[in-house]
Structure 1
Amino acid sequence: MYKAILYCAVLIIPLSIVGCGDQRILEKLGFTQTTSYDLLPSENNGQEDKLMISVSIPKADPEGQTKRETLTAVSTTSKAAKIMLSRKTELSLVSGQLRNTLFGLSLAKKGLWEHIDTLVRDPAISQRVKVTLVNGNAHDLLMKDYLPHPRTGKYIDRLLEKEGKAQTVPHITLFEFTRDLFDDGIDPVAPMIRAVNDDVVIDGIALFNEDRYITKIGPDKSLIFSILRGNFKEGELSIDLESKGEHVMLSSLISKRKIKVHSSGYNQFSIDINISLKGSILEYIGDLHLSDEKDRQKLENSISDYIQFETKEMVTKMQKNKVDSLGLGKRIRNSLSYSEWTNLVWKDIYPNIEVRCNVQTKIKDYGKFEK
């Protein structure tokens, strides 16, 4: 019995010593929640551009004067900047709680992959970290406190989560951006934000050609983009039918999209995007009587015509800027053999293919009040 106890003690003591050596005290850790990246052009021609990286670190000290600590470093690489950031704080910086990465517009125009690649390779960083574009300087947006909102990092994260559920911006993570970047049949997109006085607002959807920012969809047209991009079961859309003096507010939208590819010869393609919409009317201003079935059909046709026009205009804009943000190339690729697709220069053909948008709208209900 004595020998058995002695053997157990011999085994337990070394294990406890090893465990103590691997301890991490929470109060001594700096959990990076949000990171911003900006391009600083070189002052001297021929020299490499500098990268400005800032981080926002929540503080758990209840006696502290601030709820977060912000750090900034300027370097040629993100990893070198991380070392410089570490020298400015008594905390040990860790990336396991990173929630969002903000990229300034000037950096996005040059290309993001070099910086996203660093994040993707880091085993401590989750692939679910959000990718967000800032219309302006990401550092300035992150450093500012927006009272009475929560601390800036949490404020932006909650804003994107809420707007993503409402279909006004796509939910884009490191995984999704990287997946679309390396897929030869689609280009990446990302939500865009900007600072307006004491608020951060959604500024639309950024469209990329490979990893370079090209153009954007305005915030007032973002739900039209969601209708084109895929299916969803929740959303609100405000429509002004100016030619008819009518205004409609649709809620609880259910959108379904089907794409058909047609080929009429060598490298000759056309695409039909068939969209089915169902929604409830929360507000209507106009001369029609929604309790009348014929008037409801007229309104449904007017809504369909409006959305059909807007979707066609949006597709034309994407083709003009050579950004396949809807993944139409994937649909054509799936209709071809591997050798046919590899011999096809999709980027050259994409701007010239005919895309037809067909929309059918159904009003599910028009509120509690009837007359």
Structure 2
Amino acid sequence: MNKLIIIIFIFLLTGCAEQRIIDDLALINAVGYDLTDNESNPLKLTVTFPIITKDGKYDRKTIIVEGKSSKEAREKVRFKTNLKLESGQARVSLFGQELSKKGMLPYLHSLVRDASIGTRLKLALAEDEASDVIMLQIKNEGQNATYLEQFLTKLNRENFRTNYNIYQFLRDYYDDGIDPILPVFKVEKNNIAYNGIGLFHEDKLVEILKPSEARYLFLFREEMQKGVFVEQIDVGEEGKASIMLNYELKSHHIEVPVTRKKAAIYIELIGDVVEYTGKEDVSDPKIQKKIENIITKKINQEGKKLIIKLQKLQVDPLGINRYVRNKMTYNQWKALDQYQAYQDMDINLKANVILNSSGKWK
């Protein structure tokens, strides 16, 4: 008799538990934030989630609403679908350029407060509006969220240990010795294309580096242990040639003297030549040495241009101020106009490139 009562009790408990049938859920996999021209509802929120059509095929549904805040906009999304919204499967959060210039922190806090969203949620910028990127229907690519997540994973793989997620962004934001960065995507014909790196002063976007500039930023960031470097180099009488290297960062250190008026960034790269379009034989040690010197000079020149640009913008994605901070007491650091001091510093780059093997060449 007691066993029967226990069994009945278990069944009653099961009936009381919340039932989550997958067909009744809107599993949001991408969210986009943009500004509107409407002062009453300044935020445009775009969400997309997979659905199953009546004939059993997979599709997606995209909902766009406007609201005063992300919380209000999310409530409006709820009224536009008969499915229960679930954010736990969100893969990517995309931010429009104009909104990013105003500041991203309120929207990031909203995402962090949602306990179902993990810190691995990937972040990215749209060159124009986030809604344009999310709504684009890419042929044979399925869900845009999956496509963007795979794209971001590829960028992470090509520039090792660069995690473009909400945890990384907030970690760099709250560290007063470095500024965050995020990748930028744009709609290009009927495709989504990577188009550079967004530079932030605190939580506000101030500049987008072109891919050709961003490659030098990656070279001088301490956490970029591996990467791919592609560049046109001048090889003298032979004219110009394209070279592609798979590189590893052998050493990286930043020196800031006690005076804190200058800094020096030292890096040593070991690279394998994946492709070379010049006529010279890169397996020849003399030619290798010549190309090493050419690439080293190129990196130092272009890197210096980038550093000057970063200082003028008062953005510190390389974390120079971390080293300045280490030379000061807490009270000295808090009293310092950090960005002005950073802008006034004489920052020098000293790169050295070693070709490990000749790889393949054309």
TM bucket by the smaller chain? over 0.9
8 Å CA contact retained: 1:263, 1:270: no
Distance 1:312 1:194 in 2: 28
- Counterpart secondary structure, 2:75: helix
Residue 17 in 1 paired to residue 9 in 2? Answer: no
Deviation string for 1:63-103 (max 9, x for gaps)?
A: 24651111111111111111111111111001010111011
Q: 274, 277, 280: which one pairs with 1:282?
A: 274
Distance 1:337 1:229 in 2: 25
Following superposition, the deviation at residue 16 of structure 1 comes to: 3.4
Partner of 1:84: 76
Following superposition, the deviation at residue 368 of structure 1 comes to: 6.5
Residue 73 in 1 paired to residue 68 in 2? Answer: no
8 Å CA contact retained: 1:127, 1:173: yes
Partner of 1:315: 307
Query: What 5-or-longer segments of structure 2 have no aligned partner?
Result: none
Distance 2:161 2:330 in 1: 33
- Relative to the length of structure 2, the TM-score reads 0.92
- Counterpart secondary structure, 2:81: coil
Q: How does 1:1-371 map to 2 (within 5 A)?
A: 5-6=1-2, 8-21=3-16, 22-42=18-38, 47-48=39-40, 50-60=42-52, 63-64=55-56, 67-167=59-159, 170-242=162-234, 244=236, 245-255=239-249, 256-264=251-259, 268-286=260-278, 288-367=280-359
Following superposition, the deviation at residue 339 of structure 1 comes to: 2.4
Deviation string for 1:128-171 (max 9, x for gaps)?
A: 10111000011122112011322212111111111221129942
Query: What 5-or-longer segments of structure 1 have no aligned partner?
Result: none
8 Å CA contact retained: 2:258, 2:327: no
- Which AA in structure 2 matches 1:179? R
Cα 1:19–1:345 change in 2 (3 A) is farther
Distance 1:246 1:62 in 2: 58
Deviation string for 1:51-70 (max 9, x for gaps)?
A: 11011101245824651111
Of the structure 1 ranges 359-368 and 100-109, higher mean CA displacement relative to structure 2 is found in: 359-368
- Which AA in structure 2 matches 1:30? A
- Which AA in structure 2 matches 1:338? Y
- Which AA in structure 2 matches 1:115? Y
- Which AA in structure 2 matches 1:261? V
Following superposition, the deviation at residue 49 of structure 1 comes to: 5.2
- Which AA in structure 2 matches 1:311? G
Runs (4+) of structure 1 exceeding 4 A deviation are: none
- Which AA in structure 2 matches 1:249? I
Deviation string for 1:293-331 (max 9, x for gaps)?
A: 222211101110001111111111110000111111112
- Which AA in structure 1 matches 2:329? S
Cα 1:368–1:319 change in 2 (3 A) is closer
Distance 1:140 1:257 in 2: 39
Cα 1:353–1:87 change in 2 (3 A) is same
Following superposition, the deviation at residue 291 of structure 1 comes to: 3.4
Q: CA RMSD in A?
A: 2.2
Deviation string for 1:228-278 (max 9, x for gaps)?
A: 1124444222221247323242332102421111123xxx42111101111
8 Å CA contact retained: 2:273, 2:360: no
- Counterpart secondary structure, 2:163: coil
